C-alpha cells in the first residue's frame, strides 16, 4: 500500500486567556470548602467523541479529585460561545467561571495518524523560496470577569498549565503544540505529530493571523486544504495555473476597504 503524505498545515498553540481578573479582598464568611463549589466551564469548540471522553473522564476528573470539587462542562460551538459570554457580561448574570477556547487544528492530523500509522509519512509543510507556509490556531484558558468561583478557577488554570498535565492533554488531543518549554523537553520519538509540528518553527515566521481581513476565514483555511490535498495526491508541487487559481479565490475573499 502506498503511503500517504500528511502535511502539518495547521499548528495549535496553547495560551492563557487575557480576561483574568485581579485579586480583591475576601469578604468575611465567603470561604467554603471546594467540595461545596461547582466550577462552571464553557468549552468553546467541537472536540471529537474520544477527545470529549478524555476531557471529561480524565483531564477534568483528575482536577475534581485533586481539589475535591465538581466541574460542570458546557460544550458549545464557537459562535454560540461568543453570544453566550457576551450576554452574561451585558446582563451581569455570570454563569461561566472558566472559558476553554479551542481552535486546535493539528488534532485531526494526529487522529488520522494514530488510526493507521503505517499508512502515513508525517512531515512539515513544504518549504519554498520564502519559507514554509502554515496557519496557527490557539488554545486559550481564561477566567471570566465576575466569576463566582474565582479562586477555584485560578486553581484550574494552574492545573491545566502544569507541564505533566499539559503534555498528556496535548498527546490525547491528537498531538498539539504547547508553548510550555518543559512540555517540549518531555517529547519522545513516539510523539510524531508534535515533533513534526515543532519542526515547522525552523522554517516559518510566526505572525498574527489576518482573519479579520477576510469575509470567511474558514473558506481561507479550506483553500490551504485544497493545496495540500493536491500535493498529497500528486506527490509534487502544483503548476503555476493551480496556484494562480487559488490566489484568485483568496483575493475574492478579502474584505473591501473603503477609501
Return the domain boundaries, the chain.
4-24+32-204, 210-259
Q: What's residue 155's pLDDT?
A: 97
Query: What is the per-residue pLDDT for 143?
Result: 95
For the chain, report the end-to-end CA distance as a whole number of angstroms.
56
Mean pLDDT by 10 residues, the chain (259 residues): 40 37 41 66 83 93 96 88 92 94 67 82 71 66 93 96 94 84 90 82 70 84 86 88 94 79
Statement: the pTM of the whole predicted model exceeds 0.85: no
The CATH fold assigned to 4-24+32-204 is D-Maltodextrin-Binding Protein; domain 2 (3.40.190)
Size of the chain, expressed as the number of residues it contains: 259
Closest CA to 137 of 198, 82, 208, 81: 208
Query: Which residues does 128 contact at the CB level (< 8 Å), separation at least 6?
Result: none
Contacts of 217 (CB under 8 A, 6+ apart): 209, 211
Q: Give the Å distances, CA to CA, from 223 to 122, 135, 244.
A: 21, 12, 12
Please give the pLDDT value at position 19: 39
- Picking from 142, 182, 146, 196, the residue whose alpha carbon sits closest to that of residue 12 is 196
Identify the pLDDT of residue 12: 37
pLDDT at position 112 is 77
Strands 10-16 and 38-44: unpaired
What grid cell was written down for 73? 462542562
DSSP string, 147-161: -TTHHHHHHHHHHHT
Amino acid at each position: 500500500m502506498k503511503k500517504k503524505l500528511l502535511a502539518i498545515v495547521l499548528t495549535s498553540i496553547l495560551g492563557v486567556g487575557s480576561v483574568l481578573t485581579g485579586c480583591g479582598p475576601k469578604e468575611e464568611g465567603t470561604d467554603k470548602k471546594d467540595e461545596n463549589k461547582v466550577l462552571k466551564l464553557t468549552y468553546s469548540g467541537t472536540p471529537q467523541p474520544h477527545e470529549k471522553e478524555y476531557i471529561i473522564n480524565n483531564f477534568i476528573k483528575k482536577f475534581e479529585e485533586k481539589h475535591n470539587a465538581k466541574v460542570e462542562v458546557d460544550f458549545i460551538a464557537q459562535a454560540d460561545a461568543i453570544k453566550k459570554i457576551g450576554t452574561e457580561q451585558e446582563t451581569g448574570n455570570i454563569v461561566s467561571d472558566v472559558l476553554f477556547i479551542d481552535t486546535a487544528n493539528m488534532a485531526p492530523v494526529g487522529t488520522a495518524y494514530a488510526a493507521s500509522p503505517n499508512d502515513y509519512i508525517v512531515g512539515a509543510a513544504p518549504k519554498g523560496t520564502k519559507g514554509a507556509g502554515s496557519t496557527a490556531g490557539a488554545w486559550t484558558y481564561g477566567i471570566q470577569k465576575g466569576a463566582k468561583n474565582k479562586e477555584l478557577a485560578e486553581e484550574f488554570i494552574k492545573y491545566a498549565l502544569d507541564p505533566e498535565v499539559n503534555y498528556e492533554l496535548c498527546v490525547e488531543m491528537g498531538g498539539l503544540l504547547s508553548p510550555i518549554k518543559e512540555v517540549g523537553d518531555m517529547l519522545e520519538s513516539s510523539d510524531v505529530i508534535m515533533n513534526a509540528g515543532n519542526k515547522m518553527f525552523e522554517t516559518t515566521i510566526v505572525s498574527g493571523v489576518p482573519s479579520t481581513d477576510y469575509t470567511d476565514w474558514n473558506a481561507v483555511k479550506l483553500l490551504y486544504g485544497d493545496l495540500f490535498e493536491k500535493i498529497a495526491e500528486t506527490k509534487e508541487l502544483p503548476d503555476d495555473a493551480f496556484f494562480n487559481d487559488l490566489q484568485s479565490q483568496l483575493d475574492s475573499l478579502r474584505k473591501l476597504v473603503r477609501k
